[in-house]
Amino acid sequence: MNIWRNTLKLLFTAMCLLTALTAVCAAAPRTVLVLPLQQEFTLSDYEDDQDAEDIIKMMTSKINIEFMGDGTYTVMEPVTYEDKLMTMDAKKITADVQSAAKAGRELGARFVVCGRITEVNTQKKGGSSLVDRIMSGFEAPYKSKMVLQLQFINCQKEIALLDKTYNVVRGGKNAAESFKNTCTYAAEKFVEDLTNPAGNNGKKVGVGKITNIRGEIITVDQGSNAKFFQGESLAIIRDEKEIGRAEVLEIGKDETTCRITESKEQIKKGDMLSRD
């Protein structure tokens, strides 16, 4: 009786461990680490009451929040990497894709966000009286400008899937509000560009055409230029409708080999692959 009881306990424990391991493995490929951005700016008069480090923390936090809200990636909490990050050369990580990718791997991330803020400037637009606001078309009395360069890096492939400079201006009823609105919009735009690179209003846009099919193996007419990464899951689309899924197996210079993992309809030559 005890043998059976112990055997059942072992089986139950094994099942729990397997379930937990499966969950961890499933989440790992989409784990993103948002590194603190680098400061390359001086504060204007209206930011004098803020510390530059606080601005960096706010912008970094806004990016984290947008990733969490999007739900596409699992965001690493700062407490899990801050101590180890302090031993690394932050400027070198920001300046070099390979260094950023290496840091991401050491910290347990599949993807890394890094970058620098090059300008922060808040100004008051004219007077704040009713007449002044009527003359200015009811524009917000304060305007904040931020210029920042952001990269989204695949740590395994050591490539920047997105490298873009953002020049954002937003208003508010006071300096703090206008700056907060600027940070929020910049973070939203970055994550939107990453998850919806074509600005396609939710429509799936092709990033490669199927040129050959051999059983469940397909060939796509885009290679390293499309910045695929091994193991990436892509949608197979026809007329902007998803009809299946494919996993990237091998990336060449001019073509990529994938494996069909799911099909709702028969996959044909000419069907397109799309990032979610």
- pLDDT tens digits, one per residue of 193-230: 887 655 544 455 568 899 999 999 999 998 887 777 77
**Side-chain half-sphere CA neighbours of 182 within 13 A:** 29
In-domain check, residue 181: yes
**Residue 163: DSSP 8-state:** E
120 and 179 co-located in one domain: yes
Residue 210: count other Cβ atoms within 10 Å of its Cβ: 22
Give the model's pLDDT for residue 226.
78
Give the per-residue pLDDT at 72: 79
pLDDT at 223: 87
Q: What is the pLDDT of residue 186?
A: 93
What is the mean predicted confidence (pLDDT) over 167-195? Answer: 87
> In what helix (H) or strand (E) does residue 74 lie, and over which residues does it extend?
strand 74-75
Quick one: average pLDDT of 145-152?
A: 92
Q: Are 93 and 104 in contact (CB under 8 A)?
A: no
- The residue with greater pLDDT, 168 or 16, is 168
pLDDT at 22: 43
Residue 267 resides in a domain: yes
Average pLDDT over all residues of the chain: 80
Range name among 58-62, 85-89, 164-168 with the lowest pLDDT average: 85-89
Burial class (CB in 10 A: 0-12, 13-18, 19+), 275: buried
Same domain, 219 and 184: no
pLDDT of residue 193: 83
Look at phi and psi of residue 144 and say left if phi exceeds 0, alpha if psi is from -120 to 50, else beta: beta
- Each residue of 33-81: pLDDT tens digit? 999 898 888 876 655 556 788 888 899 999 999 988 888 788 988 777 8
Final residue in a domain of this structure, among 144, 167, 195: 195
Boundary (domain end) residue, out of 168, 195, 222: 195
Same domain, residue pair 64 and 161: yes
Is residue 139 over pLDDT 90? Answer: no
Question: Which has the higher per-residue pLDDT, 121 or 28?
Answer: 121
- Final residue in a domain of this structure, among 165, 195, 225: 195
Q: C-alpha distances in angstroms, 276 versus 120, 140, 177, 206, 236?
A: 33, 36, 33, 10, 10
User: pLDDT category, 138, cuts 50, 70, 90?
Assistant: very low
Residues of the chain above pLDDT 70, percent? 77
**Looking at residue 182, which CATH number applies to its domain?**
3.40.50.10610
Residue 263 maps to which CATH number? 2.40.30.20
Domain membership of residue 55 as a residue range? 30-195
Question: Do 129 and 251 reside in the same domain of the chain?
Answer: no
